[in-house]
Amino acid sequence: MTALNGFFNAPTSADMRVALHFFSDNEACNGSSLATPAVPLNLLSSPGHITALSTALNGNGPGGNTRTEAAIRGLTQFTAANNPAPARVIIGILITDGVPTECNTNDGTLSGIMSSHLSATGIQTYVIGMSGANFGRLETLAVAGGAMTHSNYCNGGASSCHYYDVGNGNSQAFIDALQAIQTSALGCTYNVPTTSMGIVNPDSIEIVLTPGGPLNRVLTPGLCTGAGGWYYDNNVNPTSITLCQATCDTVANDPSARIDIILLCEGS
């Protein structure tokens, strides 16, 4: 896939970690055979990693039936097992050129796997579709996975969507979609501030949304509600702050929105 190789080699991707796997019609429906990637997670800047990814891509191609359930379960199992990484964000990206044909093919079941994963871990799963996919169904999955709404590469001229339609694998569309996902995934996660003393009391930080006001802190991603809020990657020794999905959507859809991280003064 020339487009994926182009994204892997882009200067803006150098500090990313990438793992890669493929799914076909001989995978276990529970995702067990897909939870370990064909190319392990590693920095793109690590010697030989881009070559390994390219070799794997060149050795695989589309074909057979579509076990989407297996792919989703394997992807969510893998990202959950590799989260959290200090000061990093992990996401999953499902790329498909077909409709579910084997395992459980019900959209409610498939989207439920993704939404439960998001609720339990805070990890987003994005969706990229190629010719042959049903984009109405992919929209359901992308929403459940926590993908942001956008107006580029929506199928059939739709004004907005949550998936990305890259047609027959248009290289520029693929690269644009992956870079948009990269920006979106990082846009609602921030490093915990430090002071000259180096150590910050996690309870002394306040997150303020403008317009809006102070945001509610929740202890785990699963406690995020429609009212939004934020949470730490680790409540004892946090390294990053992540906005709940509802708050992240608000920020993404309002060009005037601003997030301020305020370190409150502590008494002696």
Range ranked top by mean pLDDT from 9-18, 48-57, 193-202: 48-57
Predicted model pTM: 0.75
Amino acid at 222: G
Crossing angle (nearest 10°) for helices 68-81 and 107-121: 0
> For residue 119, is pLDDT > 70?
yes
Q: What is the pLDDT of residues 47-92, one digit of tens each?
A: 999 999 999 988 876 667 889 999 999 999 999 998 766 557 789 9
> For residue 15, is pLDDT > 70?
yes
Q: Place 105 in a pLDDT band, splitting at 50, 70 and 90.
A: very high
Query: Helix, strand, coil shares of the chain as percentages rounded to 5?
Result: 35, 20, 45
Domain 2-186 in CATH 2.60.120.260? The answer is no
> For residue 268, is pLDDT > 50?
no
Q: Place 111 in a pLDDT band, splitting at 50, 70 and 90.
A: very high
Q: Report, as an integer, the average pLDDT of 98-105.
A: 93
Closest CA to 267 of 213, 215, 201: 201
Query: What's residue 208's pLDDT?
Result: 93
Tokens of 41: 């997670």
Crossing angle (nearest 10°) for helices 135-144 and 107-121: 30
Residues above pLDDT 90, as percent of the chain: 39
CA separation, residue 160 to residues 22, 148, 149, 154, 166 (Å): 28, 10, 6, 6, 15
> For residue 134, is pLDDT > 80?
yes
Query: What's residue 163's pLDDT?
Result: 94
For the chain, the structural domain boundaries read: 2-186, 190-263
Amino acid at 119: S
Q: Report, as an integer, the average pLDDT of 92-120.
A: 93
Range name among 63-77, 159-173, 239-253 with the lowest pLDDT average: 239-253
